[in-house]
Amino acid sequence: MKSQLLSLYQQRFGHRPEAIIDLRAHGSNRKLFRLIDQDGTSVVGVFGPDHEENRAFLSYSRALRSVGLPVPEIHIADEAQGLYLEEDLGDITLFDALAAARNGDEFPPDVLEHYRRVVDLLPVVQVDGGRAIDYSVAYPSAEFDRRSMAWDLNYFKYHFLKLAGIPFNEARLQSDFERLCDFLLTADRSHFLYRDFQSRNIMLRGGEPWLIDYQGGRRGALQYDIASLLYDAKADLPEPLREELLGRYMDALADRVAFDRDRFVEEYRGYVLIRILQALGAYGYRGFFERKPLFLASVPYAIRNIERVLERGLPVDLPELRMVFERIAASDLRDPGMVATVGNAPVAEGLPEATAAVVEDDGLTVTVRSFSYRRGYPAENSEHGGGFVFDCRSLHNPGRYEPYKALCGLDAEVVEFLEREESVEAFWDGVRALVDGAVRAYMERGFSNVSVAFGCTGGQHRSVYFAERLSRHLRKEYPTVRVVLEHREKERWPARR
């Protein structure tokens, strides 16, 4: 991957960079690198495994720049390989500036000025930028519609409530979700919805805000993005400041579109609610399931947001959701130490024990397996008996080499070995296209089960890598689908270090 980025750099700039270093992408499957030239200038190199997501980001970047908005310039892209080079905006996010300057309860005046610039900028992005956007490339949906809202609400239900062990009545909660969607759909949804407009996605360069990570954008309600910024959990903005910034935002918006301020604020409260739910789903998945402490640390702050929502009252009558909020607020999840213990719950069959009940709910379950051809095909006992078996033996086998023999497809060294191979990405693209098509069709037709198996010689390296990768992809893209992961040969693997 690095060698391909180096070649892309040489193609664009006529020479190779002096150095290439890894950068961290906290909540993303993308891999980021900084390529540094001899004179100290740099660009950011990106490998994005999701080609549709890449296409949206590249198209949006060009569109937003065309109307003068502060987004990174795309220097060159190789969409077939999922690679591109973009302008380097530095390392300081709005959140970094806030965390560094905060001291006690007083909100830092310098950072407040940054927030004011950001809320002044947001209507320009949503309205002017929205006119330039080509929504035909939006991914995974061109509009924040009822289906998109349902994905977010189920994300919260399955990846936060279930994993955290918060009790609820499924039927009553679903009724509340439907009422909430009915309310949200009354808002004007004709402008650009950035989707993840929060302090970690706003870079500060020369004291001015620059924007990143808008690839999930689509048409939607204006209120969603300002709710995302003001109820950004770990930023923990004081309530009076939220009110001030919301008023400033509406003043700036009034220069571009006509709207009823009272109605806007009423609808805004609903979008605050769904944004909090979406964020909790993300914290649950990334924290409880993927065991990433950064996301677990945000849970107590999100609960403070829930308490503020309860104090003000919900925008519509949602009795079961209100009960769920009260249980969350009264739980041990308020304590960062207790959140970590939930996140360290034992895992079996690829799923935390707290999610065992999920598999028994109505809906589609995808069982993903790795296996060894030496021991035959895995048994398939599901209701429909449908699915795929992919033969990974055509791919370069790391198990042939001594350094990898005691490792498996879960180990970073094996992952890096495989992802250097162009054939692996071509194989993955084919797998993903076939499985995505089947999952969508099975969901629409109401099927309950589908299986996907990956086989290789020993069931230890290539098949395990692809089973893991597909499971992560399915959980991200289809939050309502239950994914059961099984490595049939696990007991036969060498003892892992």
- pLDDT at residue 479, rounded to an integer: 83
Point out which residues pair with 84 in neighbouring strands: 46, 77
- pLDDT at residue 342, rounded to an integer: 57
d(CA 218, CA 139): 8
- Tell how strand 83-87 and strand 42-47 pair up: antiparallel
- pLDDT at residue 308, rounded to an integer: 94
- pLDDT at residue 296, rounded to an integer: 83
Token pair of 226 as six digits: 């300002």
- pLDDT at residue 496, rounded to an integer: 57
d(CA 231, CA 198): 9
- pLDDT at residue 344, rounded to an integer: 45
Which positions of the chain have pLDDT values less than 50? 343-362
d(CA 291, CA 293): 6
Of the candidates 243, 232, 270, which has an alpha carbon nearest to the alpha carbon of residue 95? 232
d(CA 430, CA 37): 36
Q: For every residue of the chain, which 3-state class applies, written as one string?
A: CHHHHHHHHHHHHCCCCCEEEEECCCCCCCEEEEEECCCCCEEEEEECCCHHHHHHHHHHHHHHHHCCCCCCCEEEEECCCCEEEEECCCCCEHHHHHHHHCECCECCHHHHHHHHHHHHHHHHHHHHHHHHCCHHHCCCCCECCHHHHHHHHHHHHHHHHHHHCCCCCHHHHHHHHHHHHHHHCCCCCCEEECCCCCHHHEEEECCEEEECCCCCCEEECHHHHHHHHHCCCCCCCCHHHHHHHHHHHHHHHHCCCCCCHHHHHHHHHHHHHHHHHHHHHHHHHHHHHCCCHHHHCCHHHHHHHHHHHHHHCCCCCCHHHHHHHHHHHHCHHHCHHHHHHHHCCCEECCEEHHHHHHHHCCCCEEEEEEEEHHHCCCCCCCCCCCEEEEEHHHCCCHHHCHHHCCCCCCCHHHHHHHHCCHHHHHHHHHHHHHHHHHHHHHHHHCCCEEEEEEEECCCCCHHHHHHHHHHHHHHHHCCCCEEEEEECCHHHCCCCC
- pLDDT at residue 356, rounded to an integer: 29
- pLDDT at residue 380, rounded to an integer: 65
pTM above 0.95? no
Radius of gyration for the alpha carbons in the chain, expressed in angstroms and rounded: 23
- pLDDT at residue 337, rounded to an integer: 57
Hey, what domains does the chain have and what are their CATH numbers? 2-87 (3.30.200.20), 94-343 (3.90.1200.10), 362-492 (no CATH)
- pLDDT at residue 286, rounded to an integer: 81
- pLDDT at residue 493, rounded to an integer: 87
